[in-house]
Amino acid sequence: MGSYLVVFVGALALAFLLTPVVRRLAITWGAIDLPGERKIHTQPVPRLGGVAVLASVAVVVTAALWLSPDLRPAIASSLGAARWSVLASAALLVIVMGSVDDLVGLPARLKFLIEIAAAAAVVLVAGAPETIDFRPFAGSVHLGILEPVIAIFLIVALANAVNMTDVVDGVAGGVSAIAAAALALMSLTVGNLVATTVLLALSGALVGFLPHNFRTPKIFLGDTGSLGAGFILGAAALVGLQRDGTWLAVPALLALAVPLAELSLTILRRTLRAMAVVRTSLPSERFVLHAGKPGLFVADRRHVPHRLLELGLHKRGALTVLYTTGACLGALGFAAVRWPSLGPLAGMVAVGAVIFFAPRWLYGELRILERGALLPLLENRLIRHRLVHTAYDAVVVFSASIAVAVMMGGWNVVTSGGAAAWWHAAVATAAALLGFWLAGLYRAAYRHAGISEALRATRSVVLGMVFAGGALTLLRDYDVTLPAWLLQTFLVLTGVMGARVSFRVLDHLYLQGQRGDRRTLIFGAGRGGDLALREIRCNPQLDLEPVGFLDDSPNKWGRRIHGLVVHKGENLEHLFRRLAVDSVIVSTLKIPSHRQQSLTTACLQSGVRLLSLDLSLGEMANGGIEETLATPEMALTAPVDVSDPMLDTVPTQPYINTRTPGNGHGWTQEP
């Protein structure tokens, strides 16, 4: 263990001493990173810091291979010497490519091809793992002809993943150092000593470089360091975490989760950003998918470190988040080498965290449901055909029947019970479909499903399951129990109802995603507030984005209504500033005059528009008579005064919900 500590400290010290020398050479050669629109530094900064890091790794590893009696046998034979020479040459090719890119620039596609060639050389010499260990869920999975493809993909992916994290001082170096240290401990546990030495040298060299990356005058890793470090991480993770030809995939992926997550999110968001779902009205209303070029090789300023800074974190806070995440996942990966059952659980938690936080806090492009990604698919003529609906319902009923049979009698019911369970499921399916048809399930249109369609679907499912239960009762070898019938009815109702309302739900999410530019508070968290919120979300032309409710009732404070928080109606100026509010909508007429006056004063002092909900139909076709919805509150509506210059005008044409005649909503300004 002492020799490994010497490797780490030696690489750290050498990199710390070499970096200032390389910095002066970078300035002399003109390898300077100039400020730009997608960069956060404001002064020119030298690149090529990776030369000092990787030169330190090469010197320390070479010395360790020649001086350590434990490592010398790895290069003593001609085969071992040739193998490590090819591996070193492949890494050198990537390093030279990165240096040239730092000096004069190279096309992204050319760099990609060189990375593939270097990774192929590594796989050709070191070999690819024959199996991947996914215990305890799937055991060892044999790769077959996919062995070299997966190995090359991993190495190239790691090289680019680390390169993508090199956008803020200390991110690529720190995250890679933590990952290399974790992989080194795993490799040592497995018994791959050479890979352990390489990884510890890389970790130490990156730690020695970081002080020069933080302080002034500073230096960047550049593509030399980020691509080189990522390439070594990928190759060492592939070679060092093999045990008897089986690659310990889960521990390796946990240790490398931070850069791999950056790579995955970048590819996904750039692809989704080039796709848009548009609602057209001619010749009929429908959703159309427009897809452009994803621009995977086009640099931007939306990487994870950038987004953390935009969320309000200081640079040190963003680094703390990334370093802590990398260290925790690396520790879990190391533990998974000893306790394999821990790895898949930790991996699922990590993936779940990314799925939850990335669309919510980092990238709106990933909110695919709010962007209407599935709506064009559901509008396809084939999907909307009644035969397809019938086939879907048959699958739901048949699957529910088999599931209930397994839950009630165990797997032996369908495995060793012969064809009885399948025959019973088929009979139940045929009887249920007959009931669905008689109840009129297939005579309704569900594009804009509402309460009436939901009731029709519920009635149809209940009748269909009554038919199914009756048909099964007639079979002498089947005993229908009430719990089993209720469970199967619930499962079928969930599947059938979910399919019928799916378009309406997705359409609602799409409307929510079409947020306006004017951040709006709704005064009144009662029935009027609910109507105002519906109108805002169903009418994108209003250009309003609801951010919360205001209410004077203490029992509503802090509660969430349709996902929006109800705030106190006190200290309004501070609340307007904190939420960046542009307008306030008064949704209730049950407001005292002094409260209305205080609200008006607060809006005037903060430059916030004050609007009110006007439920009116305007002029009707029968003789041009103006008609107002007959509610007691409407009689209290005060005349509207729009003479105040502080209050902007609002849409003059009220939005009419044509699907519900007689329920139009518009906006007027509050006096």
Grade residue 417 by pLDDT with cuts at 50, 70 and 90: low
Chain position carrying tokens 């030298």? 46
Determine the Cα–Cα distance for residues 236 and 11; give it in Å rounded to an integer. Answer: 17
* Model confidence pLDDT, tens digit, residues 58-87: 999 989 888 887 777 766 665 567 777 888
CA distance 452 to 647: 42
Take residue 551 and report the two structure tokens written for it.
Answer: 């209410």
Query: What's the pLDDT band for 670 if we cut at 50, 70, 90?
Result: very low
Instruction: Please give the residue that has the higher pLDDT: either 139 or 235.
Output: 235
Instruction: Give counts: helices (H), strands (E), the chain.
Output: 23, 17
Is the model's pLDDT at 20 over the cut of 50? yes
Query: Tens digits of per-residue pLDDT, 94-139?
Result: 999 999 998 888 888 899 999 999 999 988 887 778 888 776 665 6
Q: Are 657 and 651 in contact (CB under 8 A)?
A: no
* pLDDT of 249 over the 60 cut: yes
Alpha helices in 166-248 (DSSP H): 171-190, 193-214, 222-240
Confidence grade of residue 636 (pLDDT, cut at 50, 70, 90): very low
Alpha carbons within 13 angstroms on the beta-carbon side of residue 655 total 17
Q: Which long-range contacts (CB under 8 A, 24 or more apart) does 139-146 make?
A: 140/246
In whole angstroms, how far apart are CA 641 and each of 442, 610, 657, 668? 52, 11, 26, 9
pLDDT at 46 over 80: yes
- pLDDT of 648: 38
CB 83, CB 114: distance < 8 Å: no
Enumerate residues 6+ apart whose C-beta is below 8 A from 436. Answer: 390, 393, 442, 460, 461, 463, 464, 496
% of residues, the chain, pLDDT over 70: 87
Average pLDDT score, the chain: 83
Cβ-based neighbours of 226, under 8 Å, separated by 6 or more: 50, 98, 162, 163, 165, 166, 172, 176
Cβ neighbours of residue 338 under 8 Å, at least 6 residues apart?
189
List pLDDT tens digits, range 157-203. Answer: 999 999 999 888 899 999 999 999 999 999 999 888 888 999 999 99
- Given this model, what pLDDT does residue 111 score? 92
Alpha-carbon span 225 to 330, nearest angstrom: 21
570 pLDDT band, cuts 50/70/90, is confident
Confidence of residue 468 (pLDDT cuts 50, 70, 90): very high
Specify which of 412-421, 494-503, 521-530, 608-617 reaches the highest per-range mean pLDDT: 494-503
Give the pLDDT confidence of 259-281 residue by residue, as tens digits.
999 999 999 999 988 888 888 87
Query: End-to-end alpha-carbon separation of the chain, Å?
Result: 79
pLDDT value for 528: 85
